[in-house]
Every structure is written in C-alpha cells, then in structure tokens.
Amino acid sequence: MLSCPCTSSYYTQEAVGYLGVYVLLVGLCLCLLVGLYALADLVEQHLRTTKRVIIHTVQATVAMQLLLWVLHGEELDLATMVRMGVPAAKAPAYVGFWMCRHGSAP
C-alpha cells in the first residue's frame, strides 16, 4: 500500500526542520552581538592603539587604490585630481607625469 507524504509525521519533521533553522539563526545573531560588544569594549580600553590602526588602515587602503589606479593606466583629468584632494595649483605637475608616462595629456 502506498503512503501519502501528507502524514502527521511529515509535518512534524518539517516543523522540527524549520525550528532548527530559526534556532540556528537566533544563536548566530546572539554570537555576533556578543562578539561586537566584546570588540567595542576592547576598542574603548585601547583608544590610542585603535586610532593608529584606523589611520594606518585608511592610509594603506588609499595608497593601494592609488597604486592600482596608476598601474592600471587610468587617465586623470583636473576635475578628478581636485576631487581626490590634489590642489588645483599642483595639478599641472601631475598632468606632466601622465604626459611622460602616456605620451599625451589626459
């Protein structure tokens, strides 16, 4: 005799499966919450070190992006350089660098 998959044990298994997923998600969120709280406490205890780490991380990220930009060969124009923080008076020197590298101005 064939059994129907719509039996009460089938629904019980489905419910237990969904309950397990919800318990997993709640546990994951609680672990994340506790970890972030511990990290915030650690940062609060070591403010000077945290400040230095953040500053060096930002500087390294900017340097890597600029290096990739230079090595990739993207062209720079005056508006882009000013947006990057290069003073407009110093921009022609950067354009001169690009002329030497590419043979033409951007």
Residue 52 to residue 56: CA distance in whole angstroms: 6
Which residue ranges of the chain lie beneath pLDDT 70?
1-7, 72-106
92: tokens are 């022609």
- pLDDT (tens digit, 9 = 90+) per residue, 36-59? 999 999 989 999 998 999 999 989
Residue 104 falls within a domain, yes or no?
yes
Q: How far apart are CA 101 and CA 95, in angstroms?
A: 10
The answer to whether residue 30 sits within a structural domain is no
Helix, strand, coil fractions of the chain, as percent rounded to 5:
80, 0, 20
**Integer Cα distance of 96 and 93 in angstroms:** 5
Q: What global pTM score does this model have?
A: 0.45
Number of domains in the chain: 1
Which domain range does residue 106 map to?
76-106
Is residue 97 within 8 A of residue 73, CB to CB? The reply is no
In a domain, 96, yes or no: yes
| H helices, E strands: number in the chain | 4, 0
Tokens of 106: 């951007």
